[in-house]
Amino acid sequence: SVVVGISQELTAILERLTALELSDRYSKASEVLHDLGLPLPKPSPRVPIAPTPRQTWECVATMATTTEVNTLTATSEGKLLISGDNDGLVKIWDCERGEELWSLTGHEHIITSVAVSLDGRFIVSGSLDYAVNLWDLKAAKLLMTLFGHQDGVTRVLIAPDGRTLISSSRDKTIRLWNLQTGQLLGCLVGHQSSVEAIALDAHGQLLASGDASGAVKIWHLGTQELLRTLSGHAAKISAV
């Protein structure tokens, strides 16, 4: 047969295709090419995949303490480590040398939480003595003590804007403070048990809190409004 506009080679291939029995079954393309008398294509060269190097961690320093450490945080550049322990001490460490630089006294009970501002100027600590302490990191001195909670403080954090301090407590509340003046900005009420964990979103607009009964609540930090309560956990929320 003659097909206008089609090469003789392609015409021959089409004629051989129409001659194949319909009952034939092929599991591979190579079987079809074999029956058509066509050469098998050369396999493409395989490009070797370089193995992913394993990340290794090296201990650069060990900080020795005489009592149990309950909480740790680090400055944004990673040079200083801040710890809070059972003796009520806030300690500042040199991460590169593993040396204790300062030991800050000012709490009368176990330190439960520490936080540091993004600019590295301030440290905040919370304790079971009901107090929140604000420290000058560079001068290693206590600036002010914030009272208001009626039970032990469980968590403290500083908002990304560096202006708002947030603390949670066993008294079932979350308190918002002005970091510069220490003024109480608001008190979030709604939990039915000790507030054990708090966290902010990256923009500092939404606050998540978890309590000892397993409830998680979402708050709008600007309006201090409770947006949602998430239930489902049957035990204490340790982190959010």
Q: What are the φ/ψ torsions at residue 17 (nearest 5 degrees)?
A: -65, -45
**Listed residue (237, 150, 233, 146) closest to 198, CA to CA:** 237
Convert the pLDDT of each residue in 77-103 to its tens digit.
Answer: 999 999 999 999 999 999 888 899 999
pLDDT at 15: 65
Find the helix or strand (DSSP H, E) in which 9 lies: helix 8-19
pLDDT at 22: 45
Which letter does DSSP use for residue 8 in this model?
A: H
Alpha carbon distance 63, 227 (integer Å): 42
Q: Please tell me the pTM assigned to this model.
A: 0.75
pLDDT at 92: 96
Instruction: For the chain, list residues with pLDDT below 70.
Output: 1-38, 40-41, 43-44
Convert the pLDDT of each residue in 35-71 to its tens digit.
Answer: 666 676 676 677 777 777 777 878 877 888 889 999 9
